[in-house]
Structures are given as C-alpha cells and as structure tokens.
C-alpha cells in the first residue's frame, strides 16, 4: 500500500475506536476492515483475499496461505460486515486531510534554505517521513491539524540532528510560524507527543 491509503486506514481505525469501546470488537478484524475500506476511499483497491493472507502470515509466519474453505469465507464475510459497521459508526465520514502534502512542501522549502552540505550530510527528509509514518501508531492524526503535524515532524527532525535554519536568529518570526501558523507552545506539545508515540513504537518492536 502507498503512504496515503495507509494513513487513511490508521485514521479510520483510531476514529472508530474513539466512538466504540476497544473491548467491544476484535481490533485485528477492525484493522483488516480499515485497510479494506481505506483502499476503496483512496482508490487503491485491495482484494480481501490478499488482506486475509498477509494478516494471517503476519500472525503465523510459518503458515501457508489460507485455503478457500469455510474458515476463509467466514473471515471474508466478517471483514465486509465490519466495514459496513464502521461506515455507520463514522457516519460515512472517511475522507481525511493528511499531513503528507504539507510535509513535502515544507521539505522543498527547507531544502532551498539550507546549504547543500547540511542537507546532504543529515537525513532530515528520511527522518521526518519516518516520524510522520510512526505518528499514526497513535491517535495524533485526530488531535492535530495536518499542517501542524507536518511542521512538527520536520521541527523534530531538525532538533534530532541539531540543524539550524540559516538566519533564523535574525528573522522576525521562526521559520515554522509562516508555514503552519502555529505558536511555539503548540509546536513543542505536538512534537513531544510524536516523540512519545515514536518511543512507544520502538519499545514494542524491541
């Protein structure tokens, strides 16, 4: 899946469980249905069979693809029924504005501001994209505006590598304020929450 459908799937998942108790439904079934629905929303249609087989392989690494037996068809029907439930719970509001286009614009602007050596020797772009991707492990996509998330991951990436934007100390406003119209307190809070989600993600993976 491409980055936008993945982001949409994560947003659908988090938004659904904001409306419904986490214990009421199987989160893995909801996750599969979120992927299936996101593929439709973002016009990257995925076959339910592929979603089922990939999910099954993830939870059972040594297993073979499921046979087209009663178990498979029951799971497929469950995904479709769960998709319909999610649409009703979310009142069919499953289109979202994501930070990706903003981050791309901000990175292009920042690349033009920085000297070539600073840009090439530090993976600012790679880190910013990774932080944005990992931020979807939590519900930050529902709490903050897309522009604020984009500028926050870029701000955090610059802080990680100690890179300063040229002439920032002489400027009337910090570099990020004209881009996203966000105050410092909100930016620090957003960046802190992204960092917290990122730390939790690394801990789970370890």
Q: What letter would DSSP give residue 165?
A: -
pTM for this entry: 0.83
Same domain, residue pair 64 and 109 = no
Of the three residues 64, 90, 116, the one that is the final residue of a domain is 90
* Percent of the chain predicted with pLDDT > 90: 44
Tell which wins on pLDDT, 4 or 168.
Answer: 4
Same domain, 54 and 119: no
- pLDDT digits 0-9 by tens, 30-44: 999 999 999 999 999
Least Cα distance to 138 among 180, 199, 97 occurs for 199
Domain annotation covers residue 177: yes
| 84 plus 104 within the same structural domain | no
Which of these three, 41, 58, 90, is where a domain ends? Answer: 90
User: Per the domain annotation, does 76 fall within a domain?
Assistant: yes
**pLDDT, tens digit (0-9, with 9 covering 90-100), for 174-197:** 776 666 665 554 555 566 566 555
Domain count, the chain: 2
Q: What is the pLDDT of residue 164?
A: 81
CA max distance for the chain: 69
What number is the average pLDDT over the span 63-77? 87
The predicted structure's pLDDT at residue 169? 62
Both structure tokens of 5: 């459908």
63 domain residue, yes or no: yes
Residue 133 and residue 58 share a domain: no
- Give the alpha-carbon dihedral of 73, 75, 80, 81, to 10 degrees: 110
- The per-residue DSSP string of 67-131 comes to PSSHHHHHHHHHHHHHHHHHHHHTTT------SHHHHHHHHHHHHHHS-HHHHHHS-HHHHHHHH
Tell which of 90, 121, 140 closes a domain: 90
Q: Which residue has the tokens 């995904």?
A: 79
Q: Is residue 51 part of a domain?
A: yes
Residue 31 domain boundaries: 3-90
């Amino acid at each position: 899946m491409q980055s936008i459908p993945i982001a949409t799937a994560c947003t659908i998942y988090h938004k659904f469980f904001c409306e419904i108790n986490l214990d009421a439904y199987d989160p893995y079934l909801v996750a599969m249905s979120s992927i299936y629905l996101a593929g439709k929303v973002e016009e990257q249609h995925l076959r339910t069979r592929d979603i089922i087989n990939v999910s099954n392989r993830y939870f059972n690494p040594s297993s073979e693809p499921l046979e087209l037996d009663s178990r498979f068809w029951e799971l497929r029907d469950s995904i479709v029924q769960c998709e319909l439930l999610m649409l009703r719970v979310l009142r069919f509001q499953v289109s979202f504005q994501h930070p990706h286009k903003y981050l791309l614009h901000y990175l292009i602007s920042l690349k033009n501001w920085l000297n070539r050596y600073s840009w090439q020797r530090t993976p600012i772009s790679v880190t910013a994209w990774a932080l944005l991707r990992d931020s979807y492990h939590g519900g930050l996509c529902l709490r903050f505006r897309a522009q604020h998330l984009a500028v926050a991951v870029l701000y955090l990436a610059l802080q990680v590598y100690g890179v300063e934007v040229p002439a920032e100390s002489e400027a009337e406003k910090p570099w990020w304020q004209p881009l996203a119209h966000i105050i410092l307190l909100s930016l620090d809070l957003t960046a802190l929450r992204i960092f917290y989600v990122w730390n939790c993600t690394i801990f789970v993976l370890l």
